[in-house]
Amino acid sequence: RKLEEDLRHALACDGLHLVYQPVVSSRTERITGYEALLRWNHPVRGAISPAIFVPIAEDTGLIGPIGDWVLRTACRDAALWADDIRVAVNVSPIQFANPGLPATVMSALAASQLAPERLELEITESVFLNDDDGTDSMFARLKGIGVRLALDDFGTGYSSLGYLKKAPFDKIKIDQSFVRGAVINGSRNSAIIKAIVSLAEALGMDTTAEGAETQDELALIRQLGCSHIQGYVYGRPLEAGEVMQRQSSHG
């Protein structure tokens, strides 16, 4: 109850902000984009994880205006970056179920002048739980705008191959749970990552291995053929200003 009110206040009074975690090409080791991650520094409780407050926002309807704010802010920030750098934005299943989402996306793109192909929407497979005509048409409408679509947290839910068949994803994000410990626990995680990579390649999709923390994990993931890597080994999420500094220092 109270946290909901505080969250409403944070949204209205500049209390939320985004940080950006680098996504790196496995082949060139250059940054190809950043994932926008929502942060809330509560005035009394300190930093509260989105894993805590996003579910509250989803239950109370606040995810609508918060999601709009995230899209607009991420597009506005990314428009200042080099024009081959993308931004990825997490989209809640509640937002995805809202027929107004494509209009919100188009409005964020128009306001920022960001090219649609520089925006990637990360969607989890829970959007398929109420799989219906609305789901199919939402995918078609978003693709019609020209944005990219990524399937987030792949491997943690039902991971039905039927989803991959019918939904026009550009990328599969392999969940951290497969990456972490792939070196120590070895073969099973590696075998799964390898299988996901070959499936994705056959379907013309990129793969991002998430959560690589060590050089050993990095080496293994590159060997397994993931096209992209995101993890602390390449960098923690950065403030928008820090991303800008890097842009100017790397030309």
* Residue 237 in contact with ligand G, rule: CB under 6 A: yes
Strand partners, 247: none
Q: If we measure between CA atoms, which residue out of 191, 225, 227 comes closest to residue 208?
A: 227
Element (H, E) at 90: strand 86-90
Q: Which residues, including other chains, have CB under 8 Å from residue 46's CB and lie 6 or more apart?
A: none
Contact letters for ligand G, residues 28-67 (x by CB under 6 A): ---------xx----------xxx--x-------------
- Contacting ligand G (CB under 6 A), which of 15, 213, 238, 247? 213
Residues of this chain, 58-117, that bind Mn ion according to CB under 5 A: 90
CB atoms within 10 A of CB 199: 15
Minimum distance from residue 90 beta carbon to ligand G (Å): 4
For the bound state, the minimum distance from the C-beta of residue 251 to ligand G, rounded and expressed in Å, comes to 26
Question: Of the candidates 6, 77, 120, 152, which one interacts with ligand G according to CB under 6 A?
Answer: 152
How many residues bind Na ion (CB under 5 A)? The answer is 3
Q: How far is CA 43 from CA 6, 16, 46, 48, 121, in A?
A: 9, 11, 6, 10, 30
Strands 16-25 and 119-124, how do they pair? unpaired
> Mask 169-208, x = binds ligand G (CB under 6 A)?
-------x--------------------------------
Residues in CB range of 59: below 8 A, 6 or more apart: none
Amino acid identity, position 81: W
- Between 170 and 213, name the residue whose CB sits nearer to ligand G: 213
Closest approach, Cβ 39 to Mn ion, in A, equals 14
User: Rounded to 5 degrees, what are φ and ψ at 206?
Assistant: -75, 165
Pick from 24, 211, 221, 246 the residue near ligand G by CB under 6 A.
211
CA distance 173 to 196: 10
* Residue 127 or 212 having the CB closest to ligand G: 212
Task: Work out what residue 158 binds among Mn ion, ligand G, Na ion, none; the CB cut-off runs from 5 to 8 Å by kind.
Answer: none
Q: How many CB atoms lie within 10 A of CB 84?
A: 10
Q: Which of 76-84, 109-117, 126-134, 231-239 is the region at the interface with ligand G (rule: CB under 6 A)? A: 231-239
**87-126 positions binding ligand G, by CB under 6 A:** 90, 92
Q: Site residues (CB under 5 A) for Mn ion?
A: 90, 122, 152
